[in-house]
Structure 1
Amino acid sequence: MGIGQTCESRASALLLGVLLSGSAFAEPAPVLFDWFEYTGRDAAFEQPLPEGHYRNPILAGFYPDPSIVRVEDRYYLVNSSFGYFPGIPIFESRDLVHWTQLGHVIDRPEQLDVDGLRISRGIFAPAIEHHDGTFYLVTTAVDAGGNFVVTATDPAGSWSNPHWLPEVDGIDPSLFFDDDGSAWLLNNGAPEGTPRYDGHRAIWLQRFDPAALRTVGPRRVLVDGGADPATNPIWIEGPHLYKRDGWYLLTSAEGGTGPQHSQVVLRSRDIQGPYEAYAHNPILTQRDLPADRPAPITNAGHADLVEAPDGRWWAVFLASRPYVGNHYNTGRETFLLPVEWRDGWPTILDRGQAIPYAAPAPAAMPAAAAQAPLAGNFTWRDDFDGPALDPLWTFVRVPKTPWADLAAQPGQLAVRPLRDGLDSLHSPAFLARRQQHLAFEASTALAVPTEVGVSAGLALFQGERHWLFLGARRAGQGAQLFLERHDGDARDIVATAAIAADAPLTLKVVADGAHYAFAYKDGDDWRWLARDVDGHLLSTESAGGFVGATLGPHARLDPEPAE
């Protein structure tokens, strides 16, 4: 067994322990969900995969800001999680293509609390390193304490509580361990003096004490503005340092996280500079490609590089797959491409080249080697029959009350409805799974709530002001199915239907780009409740922020009517 390899995610067990702590559930009675199933049907993934190739993205759905480290023959990768809990998913791979989730770095409520924050605040851009048997992870908790570092000897956990770095402002810290024994912290921060323009930022460097877990000594600006300051580049961020052939290579993202996103590189013989920019920057972007190209991949940047045992280098980076314009509901995803070295400079992709959906793999592998459930088309089902929740499930912020139970009714998920709904800035009773495909189908089976004032069903969530809820509730002597929509300042009921109060209920959503349809099962037949519902509200472009859409079981106590 390799580092972090376990039969079951320790993080999931810890999480379930958190949710099941305390006394038995009080009234109202929990809603029982029998199963949940998700199927992806993206056209871009339908083409047969040639032998020895892999599919991009390697982590489909809301897995942004990847950071990677290799330890012997294993790779470990982490992503931003913003306001979701557990936070910072961590994955392991032997070949850079097939990934297994070990758990989460932030899996205990005492590590971090993002209660009261918008979903796109919280954890930004974690960066992982390994040195002398210890894993180090630095990140920023935006509006929740600032920059901190956590450590572990096993990447599957448990990770330490945060060691806060109050002297480090800005975002996107990363660590670099030099071969002379010194350690350094880089981060994005405000420039020296008065910013010259909106988006003017700088990359800072400072020594780091790995024993005391704090920075020491003076700070120094390595990059002011960006690779070409004369052009007033915006949002230089996500810095990483590497050392190769005596050169210190500094790579960072530029241009913001939208369609102008890019990756640039600079180098120096001295870690403290001065740094020279590569004449052929950017080394990765998609901003110069035709907007009307088929199956576009956009927003590429925020890369981290890693050297494989055979001496080849690879880059993981974020990008998005819009279905129209810059609308994408799947968030910013993790992609993989090889790095080519030219005169000591790394290049990920030449200008004008499109990111491929399939590419030659780092190691020989058969065409049948599936990357599911993290890439490609697949069906994923949870029958809720395990002792702990699958690590693919997450929560909106940290639950303050134990509302999810796998033990009360073995083989079912018991969800206690809460007063906090999807529009709350607290933690609703919503079990969230990432939407990973532009075209997908998801379904779940549940019992109609037994009490008046309780709604339960299937929710699709982009943020507290942008969501859809296909729910069931008691109505008179029977029951009602409804589709509720919250789109910015507007909130309405799209459609309703009378349903049997005591029969099992199966719900389904079918989506293709911005077109969403909602159905329920009546006996053996499916009936459509609403078709051609506009799904643009679930896009990051419409909602703002940095997350992708999630979906899953949800139960709530309905808002009390105004007097």
Structure 2
Amino acid sequence: MPYKNPILPGFHPDPSICRVGEDYYLVNSTFEFWPGIPIYHSKNLVDWKLIGHVLTRSSQLSLSGVASSGGVWAPTIRHHEGKFYVIVNALCYYQPGSWKTSRTFYCSTSDINSYGSWSEPIYVNQKGIDPSLLFHDGKVYVTSQGVNNDKDIFWGIYQSEIDIETGRHLTERKQLWKGHTYRGTSLERPEGPHLYYIDDWYYLLLAEGGTEERHMVTCARSKEPYGPWEACPGNPLVHHYPQSVEEQPIRCTGHGDLFQDHLGDWWIVFLGTRRYPDTYDHLGRETFLAPVEWQDGWPVINKGNPVSLKMDVHRSLKQDGAKRDLGFEDNFDHEELDKSFNFVRNPYPDTYSLTERPGWLRLNTSHISLGQTDSPSWVGRRQQSFRGEFRTLMDFKPKMREQEAGLTLHANDYVHAEVAITFTKEHGRSVFSRVWRSDLDDLDELNIDKKREILTYEALNDDEPVELFIKAEPTTYSFGYKNSKSGECKVLGTMSTKWFKRTQPLRLHFTGVYAAMYCTDNGYSTLGHADFDYFKVTAEED
């Protein structure tokens, strides 16, 4: 039966998966967003349900001061003797070209379906990123990309054995692999290691070539857990470069995790981005699925062919067959936010309330403005489709020009755009769009200090709630509002999605676009709030 890729659209990078009986559990990186590490459940590998998060308490992890694309990197999920384990690396600080203190830790639970059931962290003194666990023959191996000191990154794969109860090292850390040579060139940054024991062989699955167009999945094997290693003659196993966008819209493929389903078939989940002609990868890195066969003791992905958006794979696992619905609506009638909502970093306790005005989400005015390396009064959800719309009905009565609230599109601290309400002396209560210019000839030449914007204000002339919307197309975003009296929907501004591409000129970012509700006074510490009656997402499947 055919299925569609990606199986988890929108910002879902670095997938890791494990199976327990006929149940499948998958986790992803979350970087600076909170709660950390979503857990998805499936019975058929195609239809996934978000059942919770691993990191739900600040006692497990604080993201205070973590720069965009820092935070939670590349978790691995494994199951052993009735317990689930997720091991991960968290960077306390990150900027492109430099990183500072990182910590490897794991959390565990015996009840993966219970919210907040994951343990406090157990730390492993193994520097580096992308850690993985292998339970085999009474031993527990931690495999990760290694760092040779606090300043310099040594792009190799390292491994040690630990006591799973305490995280204490039982062996010294040893280097396993420096990476492969592809087409006569040494690949850069071997990372994302996953170690498996299959049919008397240890297999080491890696991501190499960096996180952009040259990203790929490679493999090596050994009879011993520390080598020597033999490179797979079919490397790279997954590689979608340098085909044109017209030939292959799936790009930047890497960071895979192998697994066997309950019927004995093998699969791989991996990350990638989607691009079409004249569009960009602004949705972020997503989770893809492909079948695996074994030939001469080596894994072969999708019969050696590039992975497609529509996979013609016949298998006996049952799928519901319905068209995937990426739409969403929350009327805030419950005591807790829907699990699919996120914050930027750990939220402050007084940020939001679902009880102060029942049936509405209240966001209290925060002195933290959009773009600060902090946690603003902000509640958002991933954009999962290139085409769709975000709408909210907001009740907000600002008293000064510094106060604003509305909808924002958020890529990171440096790139965002809004349709919102504020107060001006000229117009009184006003709706405005803050839209980055889309008519620049070459955004790659743009400097962060030279960014330009258009501010469009329009007086509202009443205090009634206002419906705000952001309409998404593959190449443009439109920002507008619905007039409470005439019912007319008016677009205030548009911008190119080019500004939100992952390699946009301000920063390389590892995340994807969010649409969020927010409320701020831009540093003035005033008292105020904005109430949101609903948050609706309509989406056309791509």
TM-score relative to the length of structure 2 = 0.87
Q: 1:173 to 1:154 in 2, by over 3 A?
A: same
Q: 1:510 — aligned with what?
A: 471
The residue aligned with 2:128 is 170
Match of 1:479 in 2: 429
Q: 2: CA distance between counterparts of 1:381 and 1:213?
A: 42
Paired residues of 1:174 and 1:186 also in contact (CA < 8 A): yes
- The question of whether the paired residues in 1 share the 8 Å contact of 2:368 and 2:523 is answered with no
Structure 2 Cα separation of the partners of residues 445 and 361 of structure 1? 45
Unaligned runs of 5+ in 2: 94-101, 438-447, 526-542
Which residue, 220, 224, 229 being the options, matches 2:174?
Answer: 220
CA contact (8 A) 1:64 1:79 kept: yes
Farther-moved stretch of structure 1 (270-279 vs 59-68): 270-279
Answer whether contact 1:433 1:551 (CA < 8 A) is retained: yes
**CA distance in 1 between partners of 2:247 and 2:299 (Å):** 27
Q: Following the alignment from structure 1 to structure 2, what is the Cα–Cα distance between the partners of residues 183 and 223?
A: 19
- CA distances 1:453-495 after superposition (whole Å, capped 9, x unpaired): 4211101101111000111013347411111246933263432
Cα distance in 2 between the residues matched to 1:529 and 1:326 = 22
Greater Cα offset, 467-476 or 320-329: 320-329
Higher mean C-alpha deviation, range 345-354 or range 167-176: 345-354
Distance 1:393 1:358 in 2: 30
Q: Structure 1 residues 105, 364: CA separation in 2 closer, same or farther (over 3 Å shift)?
A: closer
Give yes or no for contact 1:283–1:350 (8 Å, CA) kept in 2. no
Q: Please tell me whether the aligned partners of residues 288 and 352 of structure 1 are also in contact (alpha carbons under 8 angstroms).
A: no
Superposition RMSD on alpha carbons, in Å?
2.4
| CA deviation vs aligned residue, 1:217-240 (integer Å, no higher than 9, x gap) | 122221123366963211111111
The partner residue of 2:267 within 310, 314, 318 is 314
Whether the 8 Å contact between 2:65 and 2:92 is mirrored in structure 1 is no
In the TM superposition, what whole-angstrom CA distance separates every residue of 1:305-358 from its partner, at most 9, and x where no partner exists? 111111101111100012457831110000111111111111113555342334
The C-alpha deviation readout for 1:64-91, integer Å capped at 9, x for no partner, is: 0000011111111100000011011111
SS at 2:138 equivalent: coil
Structure 1 pair 478/465, CA: closer, same or farther in 2 (3 Å)?
A: same
Assess if the C-alpha contact under 8 Å between 1:124 and 1:141 holds in 2: yes
Residue in structure 2 matched with residue 498 of structure 1 by the alignment? 459
Q: Does 1:535 align with 2:497?
A: yes
- For 1:354 and 1:325, the matched residues in 2 are separated by 21
Work out which of the residue numbers 326, 330, 335 in structure 2 matches 1:387.
335
Match of 1:27 in 2: none
Matched to 1:299, the amino acid is C
User: Which of residues 345, 356, 370 is equivalent to 1:422?
Assistant: 370
CA distance in 1, matches of 2:70, 2:196: 29
Matching residue of 1:155:
112
Matches for 1:108-127 after TM superposition, within 5 Å: 108-127=57-76
Counterparts of 1:379 and 1:191 in 2: how far apart (Å)? 46
Distance in 2 between residues matched to 1:361 and 1:460, nearest whole Å: 39
The corresponding residue for 2:351 is 403
Taking the aligned partners of 2:12 and 2:307, their CA distance within structure 1 comes to 20
Matching residue within 276, 279, 283 for 2:230: 276
In the alignment, is residue 465 of structure 1 matched against residue 414 of structure 2? yes
Decide whether aligned partners of structure 1 residues 210 and 467 sit closer, same or farther in structure 2, where only a CA change above 3 A counts.
same
Supply the distance in 2 between the matched residues of 1:396 and 1:271 (Cα, whole angstroms): 39
Match of 1:260 among 214, 219, 230: 214
d(CA) in 2 for partners of 1:200, 1:285: 24
Other-structure match for 1:184: 141
What percent identity do the matched residue pairs reach?
A: 34
Q: Map of 1:16-35 to 2, 5 A cutoff? A: none
The alpha-carbon deviation at position 560 of structure 1 amounts to 5.5
> For residues 237 and 326 of structure 1, what CA distance do their matches in structure 2 show?
28
Structure-1 separation of matches of 2:395 and 2:424: 15
Unpaired runs of 5+ in structure 1? 1-51, 373-377
| Aligned residue type for 1:335 | F
Which of residues 205, 212, 215 is equivalent to 1:251?
A: 205
In structure 2, how many angstroms separate the alpha carbons of the residues matched to 1:102 and 1:416?
A: 28
Deviations 1:13-67 (A, max 9, x none): xxxxxxxxxxxxxxxxxxxxxxxxxxxxxxxxxxxxxxx3322111110010000
> Matched residues in 2 for 1:439 and 1:363: separation?
32
Residue 368 of structure 1 corresponds to which residue in structure 2?
321
Instruction: Indicate the residue corresponding to 1:6 in structure 2.
Output: none
Deviations 1:109-138 (A, max 9, x none): 111111112120000000111111111111
Distance 1:560 1:412 in 2: 25
| Paired letter, 1:177 | F
d(CA) in 2 for partners of 1:494, 1:512: 21
Question: Partners of 1:362 and 1:128 in 2: how far apart?
Answer: 25
2:441 aligns with none
Q: Secondary structure at the match of 2:170?
A: strand
Residue 371 of structure 1: CA displacement?
A: 4.0
Q: 1:364 and 1:218, CA in 2 relative to 1: closer, same or farther beyond 3 A?
A: closer
Q: Matched residue of 2:322: which SS? A: coil
Q: Which runs of 4+ in 1 moved over 6 A?
A: none
Q: Is the 8 A contact 1:434 1:548 kept in 2?
A: yes
Which residue does the alignment assign to 2:99? Answer: none
- Of the candidates 172, 177, 187, which is equivalent to residue 233 of structure 1? 187
Secondary structure at the aligned position of 1:537 is classed as helix
Provide the secondary structure at the position in 1 that maps to 2:119: coil
Matched position secondary structure for 1:215: coil
TM-score (norm 1): 0.84
Tell me which amino acid in the other structure corresponds to 1:492: E
SS class of match (2:165): coil
What is the letter of the counterpart of residue 189 of structure 2?
W
1:34-183 correspondence to structure 2 within 5 Å: 52-143=1-92, 145-156=102-113, 157-165=116-124, 167-178=125-136, 180-183=137-140
**1:176 shift after superposition:** 0.3
